[in-house]
């Protein structure tokens, strides 16, 4: 199957899941996740109508930056704060915002360029030690939400999570529901400079369930580009 055919079938799955939930499929963004994939694959996805891409590493995204011309590029992997300045120039959104320290570094870098940038807070929804993201109920999370009121350039748009990997998407569903609940609670508080429009959840094997639980952005790699070769660089 070609990349265009894979994208068409992903879109069909998205539409079917939206219909099951009584939702309008047009409110769900397809992000193509291109880590390890090259120029030809990225361009093929753009030609098939994909306008939003996700990369995990700053350096890899920079090396491939020409491929993303005309599209929105999001960072979805953990960002070390010493790379914040570079990331602030490269991405339309940092979807893996996971600390106040990082947010402050980004805000300062953006201020230097007088540029606004979007950010999505990554939540460690499964409480897994090996995963990045902020605990959903923690002082750290509260501090970050409160600090956002002061930012002039960094705009919080919502939440992202990578739940525990479970083969059966039905077993991931409770985590999607949990994240949706956290999002709804924060949205109801109407905090200054904190929007909760984006709920980024669902990957190749479980995005159907994520859409049924309210996802507004699915991050799809394997189902579009096939399996990833191990990164050797």
Q: Which residues bind ligand PLP (CB under 6 A)?
A: 33, 35, 56, 76-77, 162, 203-204, 219-223
Cα 158 from Cα 105, distance rounded (Å):
19
How far apart are CB 21 and ligand PLP at their closest, in Å?
Answer: 20
Nearer to ligand PLP, 98 or 107 (CB): 98
Cα 48 from Cα 6, distance rounded (Å):
10
How far apart are CB 22 and ligand PLP at their closest, in Å?
Answer: 25
Residue least distant from ligand PLP (Cβ):
221
Shortest CA distance to 84 belongs to which of 61, 105, 115, 59? 105
Nearer to ligand PLP, 18 or 220 (CB): 220
Nearer to ligand PLP, 154 or 203 (CB): 203
Cα 89 from Cα 79, distance rounded (Å):
13
Residue 162 CB burial class (10 angstroms; 0-12, 13-18, ≥19): buried
How far apart are CB 233 and ligand PLP at their closest, in Å?
Answer: 16
Nearer to ligand PLP, 162 or 199 (CB): 162
Asked if residue 231 lies in contact with residue 37, where contact means CB atoms within 8 angstroms, the answer is: no
């Amino acid at each position: 199957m070609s990349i265009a055919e894979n994208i068409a079938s992903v879109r069909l799955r998205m539409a079917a899941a939206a219909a099951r939930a009584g939702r309008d499929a047009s409110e769900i963004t397809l992000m193509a996740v291109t880590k390890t994939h090259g120029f030809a694959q990225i361009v093929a996805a753009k030609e098939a109508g994909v306008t939003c891409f996700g990369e995990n590493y700053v350096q890899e995204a920079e090396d491939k930056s020409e491929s993303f011309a005309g599209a929105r590029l999001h960072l979805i992997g953990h960002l070390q704060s010493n790379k914040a300045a570079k990331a602030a120039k490269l991405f339309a959104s940092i979807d893996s915002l996971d600390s106040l320290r990082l947010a402050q570094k980004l805000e300062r870098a953006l201020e230097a360029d007088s540029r606004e940038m979007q950010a999505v807070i990554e939540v460690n929804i499964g409480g897994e030690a090996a995963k990045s993201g902020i605990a959903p109920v923690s002082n750290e999370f509260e501090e970050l939400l409160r600090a956002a009121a002061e930012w002039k350039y960094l705009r919080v748009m919502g939440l992202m999570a990578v739940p525990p990997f479970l083969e059966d998407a039905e077993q991931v569903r409770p985590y999607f529901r949990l994240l949706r609940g956290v999002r709804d609670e924060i949205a109801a508080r109407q905090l200054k400079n904190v929007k909760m429009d984006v709920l980024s959840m669902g990957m190749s094997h479980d995005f159907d369930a994520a859409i049924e639980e309210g996802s507004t952005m699915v991050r799809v790699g394997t189902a579009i580009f096939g399996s990833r070769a191990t990164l050797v660089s």
